[in-house]
Amino acid sequence: MNYKFDVIVIGAGPAGYVCAIRCAQLGLKTACVDKRNTLGGTCLNIGCIPSKALLHSSYLYHQAHTQWEKHGIRIDGQLQLDIARMLERKQSVVQELTKGIDYLFKKNGITRLEGLGSLAEGNLVHVREEEDKIQTYSADHIVIATGSSPASLPGIAVDEKDIVTSTGALSFDRVPDHLVVVGGGYIGLEMGSIWARLGAKVTVIEFAQSIIPNMDRDIRTQAQKFLEAQGLSFNLGHKVSQVTRENNHITVTIESFKEGKKSLVTCDKLLVAAGRKPYTADLNLEKLGVALDERGYIQVDRSYKTSVPGIYAIGDVIPGPMLAHKGEEEGIAVAQIIAGKWGHVNYKTIPSVMYTHPEVAGVGLTEDLLQEQGRSYRVGKFPFLANSRAKGIGETTGFVKILVDQDNDEILGAHIIGPDAGTLIQEIVLAMEYKGSAEDIALTCHAHPGLSEAVKEAALEAHGCSIHI
């Protein structure tokens, strides 16, 4: 093997593998290091992909229980849940996609290095393939894309069996009687939704005064209302002060910030979903002088260069939203920059999606932020209850909300809760990317009957002329 490369990427998650592929496409001799024996990182192996597979399977089960009869579909006999088969399907989806990336590496001539990567002086990368076997490679450019890991909480010992992160919560071999979720963000609510649909009692403990605190306030309110209707209960403005275990029971002591009052919650499974932290362990960053900020993120400039020449960083290890698609865009941008081409990411148009039911999606500024900034704006809002396609499929909960500049009609942000919100948001993302206005969307023909007509109607309503309300 040739041990000299133009680019070595450390980490084969969405940021890393996309970066490696783009580097190879640009004619750079590229290698990618990852400690897993499958590509795709956390996202494909134990994160985004398996969770979405389970979300869909659990949603179908929930629909069979609650909605199918309305559509004239009757099930003779008892509806049964086969958890083992559901988990098997989830894993098959993961395997197909990770093998797909392996194929793409081969197609693009990328050298795959399996082992734990670390940095050394002189643009060298050590790869620990086994405990006592280390190979050394060199590259003109090294890209750190090692991702993130679950944040821990003091006093909570995770065993990934009864007290788990999202990794363990993806593999319960039975439906918990009572699942307590610490954290009311995307991960906690998605995982809580899965098991609530399958029959578990789910209690969410959230430090902030609302769930998904970074989302628009109208979305937060509606999302909590819909999730409560699905059986999730919430203790907001609470912290976990103690966790004890006795036999098969876990006792969680929670404390209210307002009153200081303590209460006990007993469960058989506890999910810790209190955020994630950049994964920089074992990289040898301090010895090389790679600068970190106060929260442990790698500091980079606009070209994703670290404080050490020849070393770049992208994805969850640098500041910004910890989203797979954000990392992918950075992977493409840094590859372009390394190849001497133009590379850029517009962080104002990165969408966020929560795949609960209904889905939640947002991009740009929230109404809270606009008010804090003192901006003059208008709101266009349209409910799915008035959308013909939503009526036809029986998915009428939620709305589309568009925020536009009062003076020039530029779209400043958009927020959707409802059917297929994660797809519908993309039309607005594209409009924002090209400085589009609400009028641009309003004057664009949308197929009828379609969910996307709700986006058009919200754009019309920003001018006070929605047709169907």
* Whole-number Å distance between alpha carbons of 98 and 86: 19
User: From start to end of 332-407, where are the E strands?
Assistant: 352-354, 359-364, 377-383, 399-405
CA distance 355 to 418: 10
Note if 448 is an active site residue.
yes
Write down the catalytic residue from 62, 249, 448, 463.
Answer: 448
How far apart, in whole angstroms, are the C-alpha atoms of residue 249 and residue 246? 5
Region at 235 (left for phi over 0; alpha for psi -120 to 50; beta for the rest): beta
Look-up of token digits 């990317």: 433
Query: In angstroms, rounded to a whole number, what is the distance separating the alpha carbons of residues 375 and 364?
Result: 14
Edge to edge, the sheet with strand 249-256 lists 238-246, 249-256, 262-267
Question: Do the Cβ atoms of 390 and 454 come closer than 8 Å?
Answer: yes
Secondary structure element (H or E) that encloses residue 133, with its range: strand 133-144
Q: Give backbone dihedrals phi and psi of 204, rounded to 5 degrees, phi first.
A: -105, 130
User: For the chain, how many residues are written?
Assistant: 469
Sign of CA dihedral 187, 264, 243, 174: negative
Q: H/E element holding 105? A: helix 83-107
**Partners of 359 in beta bridges:** 418
**Which residues are catalytic, by number?**
448
